Amino acid sequence: MRALCYHGKHDIRCETVPDPTIEDGRDAIIKVTACAICGSDLHLYDGIMPGMETGDVLGHETMGEVVEVGKDNTKLKVGDRVVVPFTISCGECFFCRRGLYSGCERSNPDKAAAEKLWGHSPAGLFGYSHLLGGYPGGQAQYLRVPYADVGPIEVPEGLTDEQVLFLSDIFPTGYMAAENCNIHGGDTVAVWGCGPVGQMAIKSAFLLGAERVIAIDTVPERLALARRSGAVTLDFMDEDIYDKLQDMTSGRGPDSCIDAVGTEAHVTASADSVLDRVKTATFMGTDRPHVLRQAINCCRNFGTVSIVGVYGGLLDKMPMGSAVNRGLTFRMAQTPVQRYLPELMARIERGEIDPSFIITHRAGLEDGPELYKTFRDKQDGCVKVVLKP
């Protein structure tokens, strides 16, 4: 089959690789009908996440048609059309039984390596380094799905691939970001980053009752998309974000702040963002957490900071004095996607949201390597790329 494969920093290739096969009775094989490039994939593209190996198949936003089912899988049948969560979860362990699927204790065969870095291992993920299982990803013509009686959700008739594809990751992730904020009527939510996850967080905050959403970015196309969703927008290259947010909230600060940026924050004129860039460039730091610092300092007393942007290592210069003395709540996770799928599928069916609004580019797998670069460099108005093998 054809698949997008990792060959080092900024080197993605469309290659022929072996077809996946059933390895366990609970497996399924799907023929991929649509997949996407995620902002998290750019951390792999930029060489930031450790544990990638030459030839690894990328991708964790995938859907398709079931073409083979393991002997112990009684949930799926050949011909089913399904969306596949990016989190691989057994459904039986301590965390899965509590709906915390991204903490699955069984699905990461490389968990010893993850434990050395993070203390404990999260669940295995598709196409996202050997720290998280080394599972081949879904930017390919076919995908093996472990624990396929737990993860995939069947797509109702009448919904298109593009309407449901993002249930695999970014819609549940953006929704969780907003849910973390415990939104009450009248609340103001600030969202840093208007990429795909940020856009879903904006939509979700309104769905959950926010009165006002303030979206922060500098890319014109992303800001325009946020405005179309009803957000007030701020360009961080043109305005002092802290001062502006205080002005807009009568000096109190937003009720909740969502970090949808993560480790690769843009370098601004601020001293801390420049220092972050120097440290990562000289291997003296692992992440660039300028946005997280700013979100902490901007949030109102006893507000919530919701973190869904990906961080991989040790963060420098965190303003914990601000957080502790002002009673902030932090909520964060790799999204336990399976927990959200029934509710979010129902919202799509009812017409409350159509996640396909973020798609700007459609192409085949062969165009994937070039579109990684387009997406990363924010060229050609690119907000979200969908690939159809």
Q: How far is CA 164 from CA 33, 131, 222, 319, 344, in A?
A: 12, 28, 21, 39, 9
Q: Residue type at 329?
A: T
**The pLDDT value given to residue 300:** 98
Measured between alpha carbons, how far is 336 from 103 in angstroms, rounded to an integer? 8
pLDDT single digits (tens) 284-326: 788 889 999 999 999 999 999 999 998 988 888 999 999 999 9
Residues 384 and 361: beta-carbon distance below 8 Å:
yes
Residue 188: both structure tokens together:
């103001």
The pLDDT score that the predictor gives to residue 269 is 64
Distance CA 124, CA 87 (A): 6
Give the C-alpha separation, 344 to 173, whole Å. 11
Q: Tokens 């930031």 — which residue?
A: 48
pLDDT tens-digit profile, the chain (389 residues): 999 999 999 999 999 999 999 999 999 999 999 999 999 999 999 988 889 999 999 999 999 999 999 999 999 999 999 999 999 999 999 999 999 999 999 999 999 999 999 999 999 999 999 999 999 999 999 999 999 999 899 999 999 999 999 999 999 999 999 999 999 999 999 999 999 999 999 999 999 999 999 999 999 999 999 999 999 999 999 999 999 999 999 999 999 999 999 887 887 768 888 777 777 777 778 888 999 999 999 999 999 999 999 898 888 899 999 999 999 999 999 999 999 999 999 999 999 999 999 999 999 999 999 999 999 999 999 999 999 99
Cβ distance 256 to 179 under 8 Å?
Answer: no
Question: How far, in Å, CA of 211 to CA of 334, rounded?
Answer: 27
Helix (H, G, I), strand (E, B) or coil at 81: strand
DSSP string of 250-314, one letter each residue: TTS--SEEEE---SBPPP-SSHHHHHHHHHHHTTS-S-B-HHHHHHHHHSPTT-EEEE-S---S-
Question: pTM for the full model?
Answer: 0.95
Distance CA 269, CA 181 (A): 29
What's the pLDDT at 275? 79
pLDDT computed for residue 216 by the predictor: 97
Spatial neighbors of 119 by CB under 8 A, at least 6 apart, are none
Angstrom CA distances, 231 to 34, 217, 245, 299, 302, stand at: 29, 12, 14, 18, 23
Taking only the tens place, the pLDDT of each residue in 93-133 is: 999 999 999 999 999 999 999 999 999 999 999 999 999 99
- What gap in Å lies between CA 356 and CA 346, rounded to an integer? 15
